[in-house]
Copies of this chain bind each other. A is one copy, B any other.
C-alpha cells in the first residue's frame, strides 16, 4: 500500500478539484491510501460525493495557505497547523510515503525545507519536472527552487535526477546532460564546466554522463535527465510552454481559415484529438521536490481533477520505486568516492537560514 498525504486546500480551486482528482488516481492505483488535510466544512461535502474515497483518513485543519502568500508569511501563519504543513509533516512522521499539494510553490518549498530538512550531503533541494520529448519523457531540474547553482550543487542535481529517472522510467543507468550554450566565444559558466569535469571523473553506477546539451536537446529527448540551475530551468520550461501554446493557436487559426480546411479538420478530427491528448499539459503534471528527507509533489495550481490525478500518479511512482532511498544510496556512493570526499569540506547546509521566518 502506498500512503499519500494530500493538502486538499491547495490550488486555485481547492477541494473541488483535489478530491475528484484523488478518486481518479485511486481508480488507476487501488493500492493508494490517502491521508487528507483541509477544512472540514469544505472538504467533507466533496468527499461524500466520492464513496470510493471512504477509506481515506481525514484531518481537519483550520488554516489554509493562500496562493498569493509569501513563503515567510505562509510559514508564520501556517506552520504546525495549516493543511499544507500537516500534509508535509505526515511524510516526516511516517504517516505518509509522499505528499501532494497544488498550493503555492514558494510556500510549499519553504515549508518542505523547514519541516523535512535537506538530506545529508545535499546542500539544497531542487524541483524536478517531467518533460515530454520526441523520445518519450525526460526529467529537467532545477526548474525553479533556487537561482544559481555551483558545480557541487549541479552534480547533486545530476545524482538526484538520475535516481528519479530510475524510479520513473525504470531504466538502469539514465543518461545525464548538463544544459549549456553551444556558442564557442562565450566564456564563463565555470560552474557548469566544473560539474562536467566531476561527472566525467567519477564513474557512477547509477548514471551515465552524456556531456553538454543545448536547449533544443530537451525536446529531442537527447538525454534522460537535463541538469541546470533554477533560473534557466524555469525560463526554459515556461518558454517551451509558451511555444506549445503558440503552435496550438497557429494550428487552430489555420484549420479555421477556409472551408476546405474546415472539411479537412472534420476528417482528421481523430488525429487532432490524438494530438491534443499528446500535448495535454494535464497529463504530465507534478514537480518533484528532490533533496529533502521526504518526497513532496507540487501540482500546477490551476489544473483540474485530471491534472491533479497526474500529480498523484507521479507521487505514487516515486514512493513505489523508493526514490528516497535510491537518492540516499547514490549520494552516499558519490560522496565516498575520492572526488566526492574532496567536496565535503565545502558542503554546508545553508538552506535553513534563507527561509527562516521572521518572528
Contact = CB atoms under 8 A, between A and B. Distances in A.
Interface of A: 70-71, 104-107, 109-110, 132-134, 144-148, 179, 181-189, 214-220, 228, 230-232, 234-251, 254-255, 257-258, 260-261, 263-272, 274-275, 278-279, 354-355
Given A105-B183, A106-B184, A181-B231, 18 more contacts: A105-B184, A106-B186, A134-B246, A144-B186, A182-B238, A187-B354, A215-B236, A215-B241, A217-B238, A218-B242, A220-B245, A220-B246, A232-B232, A239-B239, A239-B240, A250-B278, A254-B271, A254-B274
7 contacts: A105-B185, A106-B185, A215-B236, A216-B239, A235-B236, A258-B270, A264-B265
A84 to B, nearest CB: 13
Contacts of A179: 235
A65 B152 CA distance: 38
Closest A-B pairs by Cβ, 5 of them:
A264-B268, A215-B238, A264-B267, A106-B185, A216-B242
The secondary structure that dominates the A interface is: helix
A239 B241 contact: no
Contact of A271 (B264, B270, B278): B264
A123 B241 CA distance: 33
Q: How many copies does the complex hold?
A: 2
A214 B105 CA distance: 16
Given A105-B183, A234-B183, A278-B250, A239 B219 contact: yes
B247 A272 contact: no
Contact of A268 (B132, B189, B260, B354): B260
